[in-house]
Structure 1
């Protein structure tokens, strides 16, 4: 993992995701790219008839804010002793992050568990990017201050998405001292959890298996309890793109884990 990308901006979550991106870059001796979208809503007004109007004053203000951000972040990164660059993208935030991530190893984003889920914000933004990208997303809660590599937990149900998340997470998992695979309602028709452990062992990762027992509580509540008991530094899980699972992942599970525990989550589709 050498190419670390982070969504740059002046929002409330930027400092936490920047710090996590710095921790990753330092850990893997990598290169940090700051992805700075230039969404049209910052300087274009839309009327009721579908017309769009360029607002020069709004454009100038937005550019001034972007320049202030660059100067502030550059001053911080100069003392970090690591290579970095800025990449500007015109278009929506989703398009900018998806396009930038094509040749990245991981994209660091924020996931505000209290967000409403409106397009371009919080869970909706992470959901849109991870389901459109082949690059894993590291979703960072606003409360997160750093990225540690002592313990990691994997949410595994035997599906393709979970398998993709494990493969994407190998560099992070290999750098972690202890790894646990939490099997959550795996279907007998899917890949058994022992296959996941065997795959990781071939990368030098000795993962223990914990079967999350079925019960009267929801999947997210049981996974939350397992995660709290293990006290990991981050979670690896698949991002499910349709139906009940998508609502669970970007609703219940993500809200619980990031809102209640405050750990980063590596998502892959």
Structure 2
């Protein structure tokens, strides 16, 4: 995980993203690729304005981001990590997707609890599905990622779970404790012991725990597992069902993006 793509934008989740990115950069001697996005305002629908309102809002947004850049660059020069700065104008997900090609991980928030703009939940979901890259989605109030801490891996044998497990190997290799949690609800298609064997060949020794199907949902079981194991982050395959289905009927990924108290390492 040498190339880390970091969303820079002056919002309530920025400090959490930055602290997680710095911790990863130090742990992996990595490089931060900072994409500072000036978000396009909602289009002015008044036909008599000639777009003046939209232009004014965009000018204000760019001014805020210019001031934000000055402050973040000042901090980065003191942090002892390598970084490059890029600027973009538009929506978060397309701007980061365009920059994602030669990066190992995208760092975002799982959601923001304040104003509806930016819609970080939607941007993170879109990037998980469309970028082809792992996404680290951090809680808004988090201050730092415990790279050498306790990792929980959600396992159901799905293609998404396999991809998440494989992509997370460099991170899991630095963890002090790794638990693979298998929820036996009748949908599991592969054994957690296979996942443990795979990780052991990378020098990662894990504890496997199986949870029998109960009246709790899979999401509730994972949230309980995070608390019981005192996990510092969760590795999971994302959107095993379509995003449309999750939006309409609810789903594990959506619930975790809404409620997880720890960072989520997500791969579709």
TM over 0.5: yes
Choose which of 123, 126, 138 in structure 1 pairs with 2:124: 126
Match of 2:76 in 1: 77
* Contact residue 158 and residue 186 of structure 1 kept, 8 A: no
Task: Provide the C-alpha distance between the structure 1 equivalents of 2:167 and 2:10, rounded to a whole number of angstroms.
Answer: 29
168-177 or 106-115, which moves further after superposition? 106-115
Contact 1:155 1:236 in 2 (8 A): yes
For residue 45 of structure 1, give the secondary structure of its aligned residue in structure 2: coil
Change (3 A) 1:48 1:163: farther
Moved more, 232-241 or 187-196: 187-196
In the superposition, the TM-score normalised over structure 1's length comes to: 0.88
SS at match of 2:85: strand
1:226 positional shift: 1.7
Q: Any gaps of 5 or more consecutive residues in structure 2? A: none
Q: Normalising to structure 2: TM-score of the pair?
A: 0.89
1:67 partner SS: helix
Offset, 1:129 = 1.2
Pairs within 5 Å for 1:54-69: 55-69=54-68
Map of 2:252 onto structure 1 = 249
1:226-241 correspondence runs (5 A) = 226-240=225-239, 241=241
Which residues of 2 match residues 23-42 of structure 1 at below 5 A? Answer: 23-41=23-41
Give the aligned partner of residue 4 of structure 1: 4
Greater mean alpha carbon deviation, residues 164-173 or residues 236-245: 236-245
Matches within 5 A, 1:96-107: 96-107=95-106
Other-structure match for 1:205: 204
Report which stretch shifted further, 123-132 or 241-250.
241-250
Alignment of 1:149-168 (within 5 A): 149-168=148-167
Question: Partners of 2:7 and 2:77 in 1: how far apart?
Answer: 19
Give the Cα separation in 2 of the matches to 1:265 and 1:98: 19
In 2, Cα distance between the equivalents of 1:47 and 1:64? 24
Work out the CA distance in 1 between the residues paired with 2:216 and 2:122.
26
Supply the distance in 1 between the matched residues of 2:245 and 2:182 (Cα, whole angstroms).
18
Conservation of the 8 A alpha-carbon contact between 1:3 and 1:105: yes
Residue 177 of structure 1, CA deviation: 1.2
CA deviation map 1:91-137 (0-9, x unaligned): 32110111112211111101236479x68513222111111111100
Report if the CA contact (8 A) 1:212-1:226 is conserved. no
Residues 220 and 170 of structure 1, relative CA distance in 2, 3 Å threshold: same
Higher mean C-alpha displacement, 248-257 vs 101-110: 248-257
Q: Deviations over 1:133-187 (max 9, x none)?
A: 1110000001211111221000111100011111111111011111000002365
Give the aligned partner of residue 21 of structure 2: 21
CA separation in 1, counterparts of 2:207 and 2:95? 38
Distance 2:110 2:137 in 1: 6
Cα distance in structure 2, aligned partners of 1:158 and 1:119: 36
Change over 3 Å in CA distance of 1:115–1:70 after alignment to 2: closer
